Structure 1
């Protein structure tokens, strides 16, 4: 015991020295106003399977196999252990983000379905073909690896956001149907190719009702009611089975799911957990309430901080409100049980994907959403004369209670031009509101191959760890770190100060910044009334300090032409002045 006390005392002394040094450095850098997460979300969206392979032993889970040279639709090996590896390296900390949005990690259909007209093997590596919401997909990792990933993220002040789908499960694939007793697959299905895949399925069999069943989903299969293709709430999006989340009647568990849980030896425990939850909450065991229970269990058990909700226009708004309320309670319970792992006491957070939504305040904010994804910036993200109008509109629309995430690349649209990522990063990371970084935009990850009938696959290429564009990465790191220091960038009042070079200020309470872009040579930059004459400021990009004179400062810009001015702390050096 005495040795432990001595050791602890030594570490305490070293920690005190480190804190003192950090305090001095912080004082020299000047005040920081990061704001709350709701005010200033800096979200990194990663397709986990395409990011980093931390545990090769899980690459071929459920018998999943590679598919030729291009591998556009197969699992590549990225997993939760890979995300943890990059957290330990400090990759995300250096990038300055405060949330990691990961693809849905719960169990997906085991096999593949036919992808696109060119017929490639399309596995559920992206997390949108759910099979079982109650456990992790083995390709993603184990429960212990999920706990470690969330622990490491929280230790860096980074929230974990799950991509979730409440509109539909995955298709019925040959391998899953056969394994869990849905007798609609012909013998010899194991030899199926994309060209003859459908010939191995009996689409006329009444046994299809042993799959999800008519009480659970709409589907164009025997024994099911079809969706209304004109109604967003009851249509079968991309021919996927559509959950009947609007139904009010109690439902029994699907036959295939009971078979699955029985094979895994957990049927009784899962049924007991459901019965207990329905009794505690007073909820009817409807389709919607089963999904709410299963999805919020990840929050209650692991401390997931938020959801990115897929296809929100295709689910009743009341369902989202109920999901959010249950998730808020679940996160509160987790934080009470695990106070040492909680980042703060902020409530559960939710953003939504409504195709075409912009920065307007829609009524989705009245149904549980804190944030909506902004589809409007990607096609406008360039340093043009119209940029100030975009920024002014975004600044007026952004509020902590109804915020939005802008992006320049997406897994559902296309990648921003790879040769213009310095410019694209500048536009995105200086935009008011919240921002979403799509994995690899910060490293110039090249697009991958894709069939012409499914161009989305090109946006989901493997992370380019062996060919990172270091100039692009350094630029994005600088801008995200600056953004993380200043809530004014996200929520501040926007004022244009100059057209050439384009210069603006943002102020939010005590926080104030001045930004100039396309500054190609040493020159004076206007600061307006953001900073006073005689005040010392510094350019966060170059770390150079200067004094304001006559409402301007003289800067010697970085080669990328971006000037990021903030208050500077005290220094023994003599700051430069405007000539």
Structure 2
């Protein structure tokens, strides 16, 4: 072994000797430890060789350890941190306060949720972190702590915090500085879909390692061996991947480090082999993977029945609000925006209007429709639900809703509805009963009332979403509330909807039990129902198989792809960010990705790309960048999501009364943009690799990034966000450009020129 390899082993031994011990946590990466090489006698083992395997049934043979000396890396031992990570304990003593739940959220988990456990009066958890500086907060009883340095008694929430930093919202985060040195490491947890999943009817096995430390890897199984390929990478890590048949298997992973070291990734010393039972515990929904999604904001999409327009005015929230009263308005379809545009200016869009446009949506290749809330509420947006079991009459009748679903299904389209379990509206009968009767109301424990009597709309008297008095928070820890909400979800699934988009699930009280309960009930009723959570950050803990099938992937669409398409990120920077993203989620989850760039909650994508505000004429460059970005979205695994009107070149700035929600003016369209979206749908339909779960990085340099699509790297996607053309060295073999269609039809070898602010897609010749 080379000198560097001996140093590597010494670093690993030092890591073990340091006693990196922590309590196991199912929401964190699997624990692991490494031990010195052990000799394995030839009679006990064989040296595995890599071979290719088809995906039919295969004969199983006895699995043996390798005949040469390898350093075992055991990842199945409890209470151990992976090499390169340090155990860090977080605690909170509430004293005499009544605390029902505490979660740890910070920069180390993308502000996701890691539940803490109550032990002897103190909430605590220990997590394995790499060396570095981290900011974090506690999430107590479903609410963010304001200032981590003061729990209200002058004491810090976490006595072990190293410092504090502004959180950007007038409060303070706590800071931890983790000391230590990173060595060679391998992370693998077969319980986590990020490491083992079934996607496209293949078993996908992956492991993570420190960047540029692995030379090669082999997945060794009792029915054959499979070469693992470097799939994605980022600043400090990389993921290696292999596929094997969907059948029971015993297996382990052999890794050769870049300095010649030999490692075997094993379960435990007593039971070294991993076992896969061949059962698909977290099924991929192929109708999502193959689909194209269109989001509809119903009041602003199309008015098909003018007779129901005025019905919006009789139950608007402003009429009930005793603190901020007002008068909603009903406008004509092309009337100007008013200060009430976001929430209380109605234009008359309805269910019948959507049904009238189904042929138009079909011409866009749409197979999935996501509709913003349509249940009885007090606003144009519908997120202040009054009655979860009743269609809002301003949108039409249940007969019209059933006709819409039937017509959509007849065209092969699925429909998912918007569901708001975290909060309701002040017109909800249960909340009105509490307002009238106080703690004599049977619904008193459905909410979090601070003082009574109170005025409707007084956000200081009860807990509301982000302090808004118009949106009282629901106590989802109350079993009656759960039954009410989950019953409503099941009601509409039975009615004919095909899935659910859940609003702000990260703010729902006790999400660790509520959402598994919701998922179980929905999947029992409709196994192929699609469940999507509105999470804006990279948060894999929500998609482990017990909560959601996918998240609204703003973390991909806005944080990465949009900034790349703007030219703010180089190809290399964007690819590294994508590497961290794709390494975090199971390939089955990626295949069901709800991939969007904009929505009713953001400015329109063309505005974000420099196209201007509502009423402006977008520049040629902004249109070019929109084409680049939308093509990327259609070329990645998952379902691309278009917000209504983006395909027509619409503009809208969120900062101006949410003008991105302005009604679609159907007599105005950018034909070039519309034809582009239709062509993208045709491209995705005719190229199966673009609908597959598999993607693998190729290269990135300057403004260019390139990645493969398909299980055999059969398609190459090459994007260039800079204002000058770039040359790309092609992979070996012959390649044919299939997008754009007017590109040279000749087979290419060697290099290809990528247009400025452009994208080309090539297929192996």
Change (3 A) 1:456 1:157: farther
* Residues 1:506 and 2:708 are matched in the alignment: yes
Aligned to 1:252: none
What's the CA shift for 1:389?
2.9
Change (3 A) 1:81 1:422: farther
What's the CA shift for 1:357?
1.6
What's the CA shift for 1:292?
0.6
What's the CA shift for 1:503?
5.5
Structure 2 matches for 1:177-192, cutoff 5 A? none
SS in 2 for 1:436: strand
Residues 179-238 of structure 1, C-alpha deviation per residue, up to 9 Å, x if partnerless? x99699xxxxxxxxxxxxxxxxxxxx74467998313222456269x9xx99xx997653
Change (3 A) 1:503 1:63: closer
Aligned to 1:76: 347
Residues 216-263 of structure 1, C-alpha deviation per residue, up to 9 Å, x if partnerless? 222456269x9xx99xx9976533211121024xxxxxxxxxxxxxxx
What's the CA shift for 1:525?
6.4
1:294 to 488, 493, 501: 488
Distance (Å, rounded) in 1 between the aligned partners of 2:518 and 2:303 = 32
Quick check: 1:516–1:564 contact (8 Å CA) kept in 2? yes
* Residues 1:61 and 2:331 are matched in the alignment: no
The runs of 5 or more residues in structure 1 that have no matched partner are: 1-33, 110-123, 185-204, 249-285, 333-346, 569-579
Quick check: 1:40–1:433 contact (8 Å CA) kept in 2? no
Aligned to 1:100: 369
Quick check: 2:596–2:642 contact (8 Å CA) kept in 1? yes
Aligned to 2:356: 85
The runs of 5 or more residues in structure 2 that have no matched partner are: 1-283, 315-327, 612-621
Aligned to 2:717: 515
What's the CA shift for 1:83?
1.4
Structure 2 matches for 1:282-431, cutoff 5 A? 286-302=480-496, 304-315=497-508, 316-317=510-511, 318-331=513-526, 347-354=528-535, 356-358=536-538, 360-376=539-555, 377-380=557-560, 381=562, 382-383=564-565, 384=567, 385=570, 386-403=573-590, 404-418=593-607, 419=611, 420-431=622-633
* Residues 1:217 and 2:412 are matched in the alignment: no
Quick check: 1:378–1:416 contact (8 Å CA) kept in 2? no
Aligned to 2:747: 548
Aligned to 1:263: none
* Residues 1:133 and 2:388 are matched in the alignment: yes
SS in 1 for 2:389: strand
Change (3 A) 1:410 1:523: closer
Distance (Å, rounded) in 1 between the aligned partners of 2:643 and 2:526 = 26
Change (3 A) 1:133 1:211: farther
Structure richer in strand, relative to its length: 2
SS in 2 for 1:367: coil
Higher relative contact order (CA 8 A, sep 6+): 1
Quick check: 1:58–1:139 contact (8 Å CA) kept in 2? yes
Residues 94-136 of structure 1, C-alpha deviation per residue, up to 9 Å, x if partnerless? 3233321101212223xxxxxxxxxxxxxx1212111111121
What's the CA shift for 1:300?
0.9
Residues 280-312 of structure 1, C-alpha deviation per residue, up to 9 Å, x if partnerless? xxxxxx11111111121111122x111110010
Change (3 A) 1:511 1:494: closer
Of structures 1 and 2, the larger Rg is shown by: 2
Aligned to 1:170: 425
SS in 2 for 1:167: coil
TM-score (norm 2): 0.49
What's the CA shift for 1:550?
3.0
Structure 2 matches for 1:135-284, cutoff 5 A? 135-172=390-427, 206-207=436-437, 213-219=443-449, 222=452, 237-239=467-469, 240-248=471-479
Structure richer in helix, relative to its length: 1
SS in 2 for 1:365: coil
Distance (Å, rounded) in 2 between the aligned partners of 1:212 and 1:95 = 49
Distance (Å, rounded) in 1 between the aligned partners of 2:288 and 2:522 = 16
What's the CA shift for 1:528?
1.5
Distance (Å, rounded) in 2 between the aligned partners of 1:462 and 1:287 = 35
* Residues 1:563 and 2:760 are matched in the alignment: yes
Residues 29-56 of structure 1, C-alpha deviation per residue, up to 9 Å, x if partnerless? xxxxx99244455432221111111222
SS in 2 for 1:494: strand
Quick check: 1:525–1:552 contact (8 Å CA) kept in 2? yes
TM-score (norm 1): 0.64
How large is the RMSD of aligned CA atoms in angstroms?
Answer: 4.1
SS in 1 for 2:647: coil
Distance (Å, rounded) in 1 between the aligned partners of 2:431 and 2:545 = 42
Distance (Å, rounded) in 2 between the aligned partners of 1:436 and 1:219 = 39
Distance (Å, rounded) in 2 between the aligned partners of 1:421 and 1:49 = 27
SS in 1 for 2:286: coil
What's the CA shift for 1:362?
1.7
What's the CA shift for 1:409?
2.0
* Residues 1:528 and 2:731 are matched in the alignment: yes
SS in 1 for 2:672: helix
Change (3 A) 1:493 1:238: same
What's the CA shift for 1:416?
2.9
SS in 1 for 2:648: coil
Change (3 A) 1:392 1:45: same
Distance (Å, rounded) in 1 between the aligned partners of 2:637 and 2:595 = 8
* Residues 1:474 and 2:675 are matched in the alignment: yes
Change (3 A) 1:518 1:100: same
What's the CA shift for 1:140?
1.5
Distance (Å, rounded) in 2 between the aligned partners of 1:475 and 1:493 = 24
Distance (Å, rounded) in 1 between the aligned partners of 2:373 and 2:413 = 18
